[in-house]
Structure 1
Amino acid sequence: MHERAAEFAERARDRHDIDLEVVEFDAGTKTAAAAADAVGCDTAAIASTIVVSLSEPEREAGPDDLIAAITSGANRLDLDAVAERFGATAATMADPGQIREVVGWSIGGVPPVCHDAALPTVFDPTLTEYDTVYGAAGTPSALFAVSPDALADLAGATVVDLTE
Protein backbone atom coordinates (compact mmCIF):
# COMPACT_ATOMS: atom_id res chain seq x y z
CA MET A 1 0.00 0.00 0.00
CA HIS A 2 1.20 3.50 -0.84
CA GLU A 3 2.63 5.20 2.27
CA ARG A 4 0.15 8.10 2.07
CA ALA A 5 -2.82 5.70 1.85
CA ALA A 6 -1.45 3.77 4.83
CA GLU A 7 -0.99 7.07 6.69
CA PHE A 8 -4.62 7.96 6.00
CA ALA A 9 -5.86 4.62 7.36
CA GLU A 10 -3.67 5.05 10.46
CA ARG A 11 -4.95 8.60 11.05
CA ALA A 12 -8.55 7.40 10.77
CA ARG A 13 -7.85 4.73 13.39
CA ASP A 14 -5.99 7.09 15.73
CA ARG A 15 -8.28 10.11 15.43
CA HIS A 16 -11.68 8.54 14.93
CA ASP A 17 -11.28 4.99 16.27
CA ILE A 18 -12.50 3.58 12.97
CA ASP A 19 -10.93 1.03 10.65
CA LEU A 20 -11.49 2.13 7.08
CA GLU A 21 -10.56 -0.35 4.39
CA VAL A 22 -8.44 1.47 1.84
CA VAL A 23 -8.46 0.01 -1.66
CA GLU A 24 -5.94 1.05 -4.31
CA PHE A 25 -6.59 0.99 -8.06
CA ASP A 26 -3.91 0.71 -10.74
CA ALA A 27 -5.96 2.79 -13.18
CA GLY A 28 -6.24 5.64 -10.67
CA THR A 29 -9.22 7.46 -9.26
CA LYS A 30 -8.26 11.07 -9.93
CA THR A 31 -11.70 12.08 -11.20
CA ALA A 32 -15.11 11.17 -9.83
CA ALA A 33 -15.92 9.29 -13.05
CA ALA A 34 -12.69 7.29 -12.83
CA ALA A 35 -13.34 6.51 -9.17
CA ALA A 36 -16.89 5.40 -9.93
CA ASP A 37 -15.64 3.15 -12.74
CA ALA A 38 -13.03 1.65 -10.41
CA VAL A 39 -15.48 0.70 -7.66
CA GLY A 40 -18.50 0.07 -9.89
CA CYS A 41 -20.86 2.68 -8.48
CA ASP A 42 -22.72 5.78 -9.65
CA THR A 43 -20.56 8.86 -10.07
CA ALA A 44 -22.94 10.53 -7.61
CA ALA A 45 -21.75 8.13 -4.85
CA ILE A 46 -18.22 9.51 -5.02
CA ALA A 47 -17.54 11.92 -2.15
CA SER A 48 -15.17 14.47 -3.67
CA THR A 49 -13.39 16.78 -1.26
CA ILE A 50 -12.89 20.27 -2.61
CA VAL A 51 -10.91 22.83 -0.62
CA VAL A 52 -12.08 26.40 -1.15
CA SER A 53 -10.50 29.70 -0.20
CA LEU A 54 -12.76 32.47 1.07
CA SER A 55 -11.70 36.06 0.50
CA GLU A 56 -12.40 39.57 1.61
CA PRO A 57 -11.47 42.65 -0.44
CA GLU A 58 -9.37 44.26 2.30
CA ARG A 59 -7.03 41.34 2.91
CA GLU A 60 -5.42 38.37 1.23
CA ALA A 61 -6.91 34.97 2.04
CA GLY A 62 -4.90 32.89 4.49
CA PRO A 63 -4.97 29.41 6.04
CA ASP A 64 -7.89 30.36 8.30
CA ASP A 65 -9.98 31.16 5.22
CA LEU A 66 -10.11 27.60 3.88
CA ILE A 67 -13.19 25.42 3.98
CA ALA A 68 -13.79 21.86 2.80
CA ALA A 69 -16.77 20.89 0.68
CA ILE A 70 -17.59 17.20 0.39
CA THR A 71 -19.65 16.98 -2.76
CA SER A 72 -21.22 14.28 -4.85
CA GLY A 73 -19.09 13.47 -7.87
CA ALA A 74 -22.13 14.18 -10.04
CA ASN A 75 -22.44 17.78 -8.82
CA ARG A 76 -20.48 20.98 -9.28
CA LEU A 77 -19.77 23.17 -6.29
CA ASP A 78 -21.34 26.63 -6.52
CA LEU A 79 -18.57 28.95 -5.33
CA ASP A 80 -20.94 31.91 -5.02
CA ALA A 81 -23.18 29.84 -2.72
CA VAL A 82 -20.13 28.88 -0.65
CA ALA A 83 -19.11 32.53 -0.29
CA GLU A 84 -22.64 33.47 0.74
CA ARG A 85 -22.88 30.60 3.24
CA PHE A 86 -19.66 31.70 4.96
CA GLY A 87 -20.25 35.46 4.67
CA ALA A 88 -17.29 36.04 2.37
CA THR A 89 -16.99 38.37 -0.59
CA ALA A 90 -15.82 35.56 -2.87
CA ALA A 91 -14.81 31.92 -2.90
CA THR A 92 -12.26 30.34 -5.21
CA MET A 93 -10.63 26.97 -5.56
CA ALA A 94 -7.76 26.95 -3.06
CA ASP A 95 -4.18 27.00 -4.25
CA PRO A 96 -2.75 23.45 -4.50
CA GLY A 97 0.36 24.45 -2.51
CA GLN A 98 -1.77 25.95 0.24
CA ILE A 99 -3.95 22.84 0.32
CA ARG A 100 -0.86 20.65 0.74
CA GLU A 101 0.59 22.95 3.41
CA VAL A 102 -2.56 23.50 5.49
CA VAL A 103 -4.65 20.39 4.88
CA GLY A 104 -1.72 17.99 4.55
CA TRP A 105 -2.86 16.23 1.38
CA SER A 106 -2.36 16.90 -2.33
CA ILE A 107 -5.22 17.57 -4.73
CA GLY A 108 -6.43 14.43 -6.44
CA GLY A 109 -6.15 12.52 -3.18
CA VAL A 110 -7.53 14.89 -0.52
CA PRO A 111 -9.62 12.75 1.82
CA PRO A 112 -12.79 14.13 3.42
CA VAL A 113 -11.35 13.54 6.91
CA CYS A 114 -7.97 13.37 8.70
CA HIS A 115 -6.69 16.78 7.69
CA ASP A 116 -3.75 18.51 9.40
CA ALA A 117 -5.97 21.50 10.23
CA ALA A 118 -9.61 21.55 11.25
CA LEU A 119 -11.61 23.15 8.45
CA PRO A 120 -15.26 24.18 8.47
CA THR A 121 -16.87 21.50 6.31
CA VAL A 122 -20.07 21.26 4.29
CA PHE A 123 -21.59 18.05 2.97
CA ASP A 124 -23.64 17.66 -0.21
CA PRO A 125 -27.07 16.14 0.62
CA THR A 126 -26.98 14.16 -2.66
CA LEU A 127 -24.54 11.81 -0.93
CA THR A 128 -27.18 10.90 1.67
CA GLU A 129 -29.19 9.16 -1.06
CA TYR A 130 -26.69 6.27 -1.04
CA ASP A 131 -26.04 3.50 1.46
CA THR A 132 -22.32 3.68 0.75
CA VAL A 133 -20.15 6.50 -0.60
CA TYR A 134 -16.48 6.48 -1.56
CA GLY A 135 -13.87 9.07 -0.62
CA ALA A 136 -10.23 9.59 -1.50
CA ALA A 137 -7.78 7.97 0.88
CA GLY A 138 -4.72 10.17 0.52
CA THR A 139 -3.59 9.42 -3.04
CA PRO A 140 -5.09 9.72 -6.54
CA SER A 141 -5.45 5.93 -6.66
CA ALA A 142 -6.87 5.05 -3.23
CA LEU A 143 -10.47 5.06 -1.98
CA PHE A 144 -12.40 3.99 1.09
CA ALA A 145 -16.08 3.11 1.50
CA VAL A 146 -18.26 4.49 4.28
CA SER A 147 -21.90 5.32 4.97
CA PRO A 148 -22.74 8.97 4.23
CA ASP A 149 -24.01 9.54 7.78
CA ALA A 150 -20.77 8.22 9.26
CA LEU A 151 -18.73 10.33 6.84
CA ALA A 152 -20.60 13.54 7.65
CA ASP A 153 -20.17 12.79 11.35
CA LEU A 154 -16.44 11.99 11.05
CA ALA A 155 -15.91 15.20 9.07
CA GLY A 156 -17.94 17.30 11.50
CA ALA A 157 -19.78 18.49 8.41
CA THR A 158 -22.96 20.47 8.01
CA VAL A 159 -25.29 18.98 5.40
CA VAL A 160 -26.21 21.81 3.05
CA ASP A 161 -26.69 22.05 -0.70
CA LEU A 162 -24.08 24.39 -2.17
CA THR A 163 -24.05 22.87 -5.64
CA GLU A 164 -25.04 24.31 -9.01
Structure 2
Amino acid sequence: MFGVVACGILRGMSNATDTFAARLRELGVAGQVVEFDVELPTAAAAAAELGCDIGAIANSLVFTADDEPLLIVASGAHRVDTRHVARLLGVRRIRRATPEFVLAVTGQPVGGVGPVDHPEPIRTVVDRKLAEYPVVWAGAGRKHAMFPTSFEELVRITGGLPAEVEKS
Protein backbone atom coordinates (compact mmCIF):
# COMPACT_ATOMS: atom_id res chain seq x y z
CA MET A 1 0.00 0.00 0.00
CA PHE A 2 2.77 2.43 0.90
CA GLY A 3 6.13 2.84 -0.77
CA VAL A 4 9.25 2.72 1.37
CA VAL A 5 11.55 5.70 1.32
CA ALA A 6 15.14 4.64 0.68
CA CYS A 7 16.91 7.77 1.86
CA GLY A 8 18.37 8.07 5.34
CA ILE A 9 16.79 4.98 6.89
CA LEU A 10 18.49 3.59 10.00
CA ARG A 11 19.32 -0.12 10.25
CA GLY A 12 17.57 -1.00 13.50
CA MET A 13 14.80 0.44 15.62
CA SER A 14 15.12 1.66 19.18
CA ASN A 15 13.06 0.15 22.01
CA ALA A 16 10.71 3.16 22.02
CA THR A 17 10.19 2.83 18.27
CA ASP A 18 9.65 -0.94 18.62
CA THR A 19 6.92 -0.21 21.19
CA PHE A 20 5.28 2.34 18.90
CA ALA A 21 5.44 -0.07 15.95
CA ALA A 22 3.86 -2.81 18.08
CA ARG A 23 1.00 -0.45 18.97
CA LEU A 24 0.45 0.30 15.27
CA ARG A 25 0.28 -3.44 14.53
CA GLU A 26 -2.28 -3.88 17.36
CA LEU A 27 -4.37 -1.15 15.72
CA GLY A 28 -4.16 -2.85 12.31
CA VAL A 29 -2.14 -0.07 10.68
CA ALA A 30 -0.91 -0.98 7.20
CA GLY A 31 2.25 1.17 7.13
CA GLN A 32 5.45 0.45 9.03
CA VAL A 33 7.60 2.76 11.13
CA VAL A 34 10.58 4.17 9.26
CA GLU A 35 13.54 5.60 11.17
CA PHE A 36 15.83 8.19 9.66
CA ASP A 37 19.42 9.11 10.46
CA VAL A 38 18.35 12.72 11.05
CA GLU A 39 15.72 14.23 13.33
CA LEU A 40 12.54 15.42 11.60
CA PRO A 41 11.12 17.80 14.23
CA THR A 42 9.16 19.99 11.79
CA ALA A 43 6.80 19.39 8.89
CA ALA A 44 9.24 21.16 6.58
CA ALA A 45 12.14 18.91 7.63
CA ALA A 46 10.00 15.78 7.25
CA ALA A 47 8.68 16.80 3.83
CA ALA A 48 12.20 17.58 2.60
CA GLU A 49 13.54 14.21 3.78
CA LEU A 50 10.57 12.27 2.39
CA GLY A 51 10.34 14.23 -0.86
CA CYS A 52 6.64 14.89 -0.38
CA ASP A 53 4.35 17.90 -0.14
CA ILE A 54 4.41 19.60 3.27
CA GLY A 55 0.63 19.20 3.39
CA ALA A 56 1.08 15.40 3.50
CA ILE A 57 2.82 15.63 6.87
CA ALA A 58 0.43 14.92 9.75
CA ASN A 59 1.63 17.04 12.67
CA SER A 60 0.50 15.74 16.05
CA LEU A 61 0.14 18.95 18.05
CA VAL A 62 -0.77 18.96 21.72
CA PHE A 63 -2.87 21.74 23.23
CA THR A 64 -4.84 22.31 26.39
CA ALA A 65 -8.58 22.76 25.96
CA ASP A 66 -10.04 24.17 29.17
CA ASP A 67 -7.02 22.60 30.94
CA GLU A 68 -7.58 19.14 29.42
CA PRO A 69 -5.18 17.65 26.83
CA LEU A 70 -6.22 17.97 23.20
CA LEU A 71 -4.38 16.44 20.26
CA ILE A 72 -4.84 18.06 16.86
CA VAL A 73 -3.43 16.08 13.95
CA ALA A 74 -2.98 18.87 11.42
CA SER A 75 -1.67 19.06 7.89
CA GLY A 76 1.86 20.45 7.86
CA ALA A 77 0.63 23.14 5.48
CA HIS A 78 -1.72 24.57 8.13
CA ARG A 79 -1.60 26.69 11.22
CA VAL A 80 -4.29 25.62 13.66
CA ASP A 81 -6.87 28.32 14.36
CA THR A 82 -7.40 27.63 18.07
CA ARG A 83 -10.39 29.97 18.36
CA HIS A 84 -12.11 28.21 15.47
CA VAL A 85 -11.41 24.75 16.95
CA ALA A 86 -12.56 25.92 20.41
CA ARG A 87 -15.90 26.93 18.88
CA LEU A 88 -16.18 23.58 17.07
CA LEU A 89 -15.54 21.68 20.30
CA GLY A 90 -17.56 23.93 22.58
CA VAL A 91 -14.64 24.79 24.86
CA ARG A 92 -13.72 28.20 26.19
CA ARG A 93 -10.03 28.30 25.33
CA ILE A 94 -7.38 26.27 23.56
CA ARG A 95 -3.70 26.98 24.19
CA ARG A 96 -0.47 25.40 22.99
CA ALA A 97 0.88 22.98 25.60
CA THR A 98 4.34 23.30 27.13
CA PRO A 99 6.98 20.71 26.19
CA GLU A 100 6.77 19.34 29.73
CA PHE A 101 2.98 18.90 29.47
CA VAL A 102 3.34 17.26 26.03
CA LEU A 103 5.85 14.73 27.39
CA ALA A 104 3.69 14.04 30.47
CA VAL A 105 0.46 13.36 28.53
CA THR A 106 1.92 11.62 25.47
CA GLY A 107 5.14 10.05 26.75
CA GLN A 108 6.71 11.48 23.59
CA PRO A 109 8.86 14.58 22.96
CA VAL A 110 7.74 17.68 21.07
CA GLY A 111 8.81 17.21 17.46
CA GLY A 112 8.22 13.47 17.62
CA VAL A 113 4.69 13.11 18.96
CA GLY A 114 2.69 10.45 17.21
CA PRO A 115 -1.09 10.23 16.95
CA VAL A 116 -1.25 7.12 19.19
CA ASP A 117 0.63 5.16 21.88
CA HIS A 118 0.01 7.62 24.70
CA PRO A 119 -0.34 6.56 28.36
CA GLU A 120 -4.03 7.57 28.34
CA PRO A 121 -6.41 8.33 25.45
CA ILE A 122 -6.37 11.99 24.38
CA ARG A 123 -9.30 13.82 22.81
CA THR A 124 -8.28 14.18 19.17
CA VAL A 125 -9.22 16.26 16.14
CA VAL A 126 -7.95 15.23 12.68
CA ASP A 127 -7.54 17.91 10.00
CA ARG A 128 -9.80 17.19 7.00
CA LYS A 129 -7.14 18.65 4.67
CA LEU A 130 -5.13 15.47 5.18
CA ALA A 131 -7.81 13.65 3.14
CA GLU A 132 -6.42 15.37 0.03
CA TYR A 133 -3.36 13.10 0.15
CA PRO A 134 -3.48 9.35 -0.53
CA VAL A 135 -0.50 8.88 1.80
CA VAL A 136 0.26 11.04 4.81
CA TRP A 137 3.25 10.70 7.11
CA ALA A 138 2.80 10.89 10.88
CA GLY A 139 5.27 10.96 13.75
CA ALA A 140 6.10 7.66 15.41
CA GLY A 141 6.91 8.85 18.92
CA ARG A 142 10.48 10.00 18.24
CA LYS A 143 11.97 12.93 16.32
CA HIS A 144 13.55 10.65 13.73
CA ALA A 145 10.71 8.17 13.15
CA MET A 146 7.55 8.36 11.04
CA PHE A 147 5.00 6.06 9.48
CA PRO A 148 2.85 6.23 6.34
CA THR A 149 -0.90 6.18 6.81
CA SER A 150 -4.05 7.76 5.44
CA PHE A 151 -6.59 10.30 6.67
CA GLU A 152 -9.18 7.56 7.15
CA GLU A 153 -6.75 5.40 9.09
CA LEU A 154 -5.75 8.34 11.32
CA VAL A 155 -9.39 8.99 12.17
CA ARG A 156 -9.91 5.30 12.92
CA ILE A 157 -6.84 4.71 15.11
CA THR A 158 -7.22 7.94 17.09
CA GLY A 159 -11.00 7.91 17.40
CA GLY A 160 -10.58 11.51 16.29
CA LEU A 161 -13.12 14.01 15.10
CA PRO A 162 -12.56 14.95 11.43
CA ALA A 163 -12.73 18.76 11.19
CA GLU A 164 -11.37 21.84 9.48
CA VAL A 165 -8.71 23.18 11.84
CA GLU A 166 -7.81 26.27 9.85
CA LYS A 167 -10.57 28.84 9.50
CA SER A 168 -11.30 29.70 5.89
- What band does the TM-score fall into relative to the shorter chain? 0.7 to 0.9
Query: What are structure 1's unaligned runs of at least 5 residues?
Result: 56-60
Please tell me whether residue 149 in structure 1 is matched to residue 160 in structure 2. Answer: no
Where does residue 66 of structure 1 map in the other structure?
Answer: 69
Distance 1:143 1:17 in 2: 16
Please tell me whether residue 50 in structure 1 is matched to residue 61 in structure 2. Answer: yes
Q: Is the 8 A contact 1:28 1:141 kept in 2?
A: yes
For 1:46, give the aligned amino acid: I
Distance 1:18 1:124 in 2: 19
**SS of corresponding position for 2:95:** strand
Where does residue 33 of structure 2 map in the other structure?
Answer: 22
Query: What are structure 2's unaligned runs of at least 5 residues?
Result: 1-12
Identity %: 35
Instruction: Give deviations 1:71-121, integer Å, cap 9, x for gaps.
Output: 000000111112222222211111221221122211111101222211111
Indicate the larger mover: 98-107 or 40-49.
98-107
Q: Is the 8 A contact 2:59 2:76 kept in 1?
A: yes
Where does residue 117 of structure 2 map in the other structure?
Answer: 114
Please tell me whether residue 7 in structure 1 is matched to residue 7 in structure 2. Answer: no
Distance 2:105 2:92 in 1: 22
Query: Structure 1 length as normaliser, TM-score?
Result: 0.88
For 1:9, give the aligned amino acid: A
Distance 1:114 1:67 in 2: 15
Give the number of equivalent residue pairs.
155
Distance 1:150 1:85 in 2: 22
Distance 2:20 2:41 in 1: 17
Instruction: Give deviations 1:2-43, integer Å, cap 9, x for gaps.
Output: 2222211012223x1335411111222110011011111100
4+ runs of 1 displaced by more than 4 Å?
A: none
Please tell me whether residue 101 in structure 1 is matched to residue 101 in structure 2. Answer: no
Please tell me whether residue 76 in structure 1 is matched to residue 88 in structure 2. Answer: no
